[in-house]
Amino acid sequence: MTANHLIAPTAEVRQALADGKPVVALESTIITHGMPFPDNVETARQVEADIRAEGAIPATIAVLDGKIRVGLDDDDLDRLAKADDVMKCSRADLSFAVSSGRPGSTTVAATMMAAEAAGISVFATGGIGGVHKGAEETFDVSADLDELGRTPVLVVCAGAKALLDIPKTLEVLETRGVPVIAYGTDELPA
């Protein structure tokens, strides 16, 4: 991603990056497509509070007002949480959301792209996308796997989403050269 004039970090995120402080990127799809209001915004605020409690600055990423916003204030979180018809943006959708001015939440892939463009090297999320069951016929494989192989951002997650074909997801990650490190288990968690 080279259009850095479209990346709009908050003053807090910009200052933390300039000062070399830890910043953790967060995706926003959980806010718009994962939970109903007000659980969605309460969860987002709790995750941000947990990151702050550990000494880092949270940077929830979303598309608002034709910009890729890196860090959201309380009003932005509320606006995103209550918005209708929010695009779910992966690599293929991000530029359309920005150019059309539509609000968009970011998936793992889009969050990684935006985090790298903003200079953030760590991203935390719940679960990554992967290879869907029956993919040998449907070719349904998440763009997250390609992004994990191409974008130099460390992703800390709970594993792949449980509805996926976990062994095939691991195989694709290995094929893409993605180091997979599991804490407290010898298996890729779901």
Q: Which residue numbers are catalytic?
A: 27, 161
Which two tokens mark 15?
A: 């200052």
Which two tokens mark 126?
A: 């719940």
Q: What is the DSSP string of 69-129?
A: EES--HHHHHHHHH-SS-EEE-HHHHHHHHHHT--EEE-HHHHHHHHHHHT--EEE-S-B-
d(CA 76, CA 154): 26
Q: Compute how many other C-beta atoms are within 10 angstroms of the C-beta atom of residue 188.
A: 16
Q: Compute how many other C-beta atoms are within 10 angstroms of the C-beta atom of residue 163.
A: 11
